[in-house]
Amino acid sequence: MNPATWTHQQRVERTIAAIALVVLIIWPAAGWSPYWAHQILIETFLFGIAAASLIFLSAYGGMISLAQTALFGIAGVILGNLATSGGAGGTSKGLHLGWDPTLALVVAIVGTTAIGLIGGAVASRNTGIYFLMITLTYSVIATYTLGQVTKIGGFSGIGGINRYTPGWIGDLLKHPNRLYYIALGTAIVVYVLIRYVVRTPFGVSLQGVRDEPIRMSSLGYAVPLHRTLAFGFAAFLAALAGVLYVWWSGQIAPGNVDLPETISLLIMAVIGGLARIEGAWVGAFAFILMQNYISTSTHIPLVGFGGTLFGGSFNTVIGIIFLVVVIVSPDGLMGLWGRVFESKRETSGGG
């Protein structure tokens, strides 16, 4: 952490990160745009965590998982079923067992992590397209299970979950800034945790498994176990995002874990960049910003065609951006950012 040893890129990035962190910390207290604080930024923090779980598996384990959205939803569904109460004036869907919200929270996170470990164990002997297909299957299973097992919510999902938060957190509906700081804090912890984990012996051997699984196996490393544990860790991260999501939106439904939502998370990760963890939040921010403004903002020069951007079609715009990113910068916006410094180094070297 000696600044003297930092590269130019590291100095710039860490300066930007420090400024961004200060701005984000004072944002709600300063009263700047509550809509941005309580909608765009909270969504960015929590979807960034979910995307980070995907990028962690991809960048350090060589596993592209389509199951992260499903795991995100499973945590929300467990919490919704356990914490809510039914009857007149209560929630109308799910088991609404009325457990203590803290206990429900712990069970939701631990349960989702356990499901992730089981799913990871099943998929751990596969790589590439086969791993992708298995995790896609998890996503489909989750969608149909949540939709058709009506006792745990059904197609309509469970609503009003954010009225049942632990006492030590308090009423997030009356105090949305509290949720903002919880989401921001969790995002920071997740980022630091991933950075820590990838530097531990487990993280280093996981990267070995990513690059040379056969060699690692012949050296005596348990390749499937590494993948299983990584998948379980990513499930834990996705569970945190799922809990934050239901506290933010109040509901969880099969529509939150279906194929379009699964692809949306992948798009966030790809736009941000699959090679660096920071890309998760960059991609989530870009995606959510577009989602919130494309359908409504008008009079955009050149591309507005006299009305909303491409007729207000978010899917069209995000599809074009996705294509451009994949073609121009396969490592996403973070890759583009990195090339700025590579280019500078080359220019300096040649000069």
Partner 1 sequence: MRRHKLRGWKSAAVLAVGVVAVAVWATSSLAASHAATVKIAIMTDCKGAFGFGYELDIGGAQAAFAQYAHGKPTNRAKPSAGMTNISVNGTSVQIVGYGCGNDTVPVAVTETKRLMEKLGADVMVGPLSGDEAVYVANYAKAHPTKTFIIGTAGSEDPTMQIHPANLFRYHGDGAQWNAGVGEIAYKKLGWRKAAIIIDDYSFGWTSGAGMILDFCAVGGNITKRVFPPLNTTDYAPFVRQLPPPGQVDGYFSAVGGTGTSAMLKAYEQAYGALEPSKWIGNLFFGFLGADKTVAPKLVGAYIGGTGTGPGLKTAQAKAYEAVIKKWYGPSKINPADLFVANYYNAGWALVQGLAKSGGQVGAALQAAMPQKLKEGYAVSNGGYATLDSRRQAIQDQYQLQLVKNPDGSVGPTTVAYVPGVDQSFGGLVKPTDPPYGRTVPTCKKVKTPWQGKIKIVKNGVITSAVYK
Residues of span 290-329 touching partner 1 by CB under 8 A: 291-293, 295-297, 300, 312
Residues paired with residue 158 on neighbouring β-strands, in sequence order: 252
Which of 15, 33, 200, 217 is close enough to bind partner 1 by CB under 8 A? 33
Rounded to the nearest 10 degrees, what angle do helices 176-197 and 8-30 cross at? 160
Cβ at position 187, least distance to partner 1 in Å: 20
Q: How far is the CB of 200 from partner 1 (least distance, A)?
A: 34
- Cβ of residue 298: shortest distance to partner 1, in angstroms? 9
Contacts with partner 1 by CB under 8 A: the residue count is 53
What phi and psi, each to the nearest 5 degrees, are found at residue 259?
A: -60, -45
Site for partner 1 in 242-271 (CB under 8 A): 249-251, 253, 255-256, 261
Q: Does 347 bind partner 1 (CB under 8 A)?
A: yes
* Cβ-based nearer residue to partner 1, 143 or 186: 143
Angle at 280 between CA 279 and CA 281, to 5 degrees: 95
User: Of 181 and 293, which has the nearer Cβ to partner 1?
Assistant: 293
Beta carbon nearer to partner 1, 228 or 308: 308
Candidates 104, 62, 59; CA nearest to 79 is 104
Among 275, 124, 103, 281, CA closest to 198: 275
Q: Which is nearer to partner 1, 39 or 102 (CB)?
A: 39
Looking up tokens 């410094």, which residue turns up? 341
For the record, the structure tokens of 348 come out as: 């300096």
Cα gap 306→300, rounded to integer Å: 8
- Return the structure tokens found at 220: 């005596």
Task: Give the residue, chosen from 9, 85, 126, 156, that forms a contact with partner 1 under the rule CB under 8 A.
Answer: 156
Residues near 330 by beta carbon (within 8 Å), at least 6 away in sequence: none
Within 10 angstroms of residue 80's Cβ, the number of other Cβ atoms is 31
Please report, as ranges, the residues that interact with partner 1 according to CB under 8 A.
33-36, 38-39, 86-93, 144, 147-148, 150, 154-157, 159-160, 162-163, 173, 249-251, 253, 255-256, 261, 289, 291-293, 295-297, 300, 312, 336-337, 339-341, 343-344, 346-347, 350
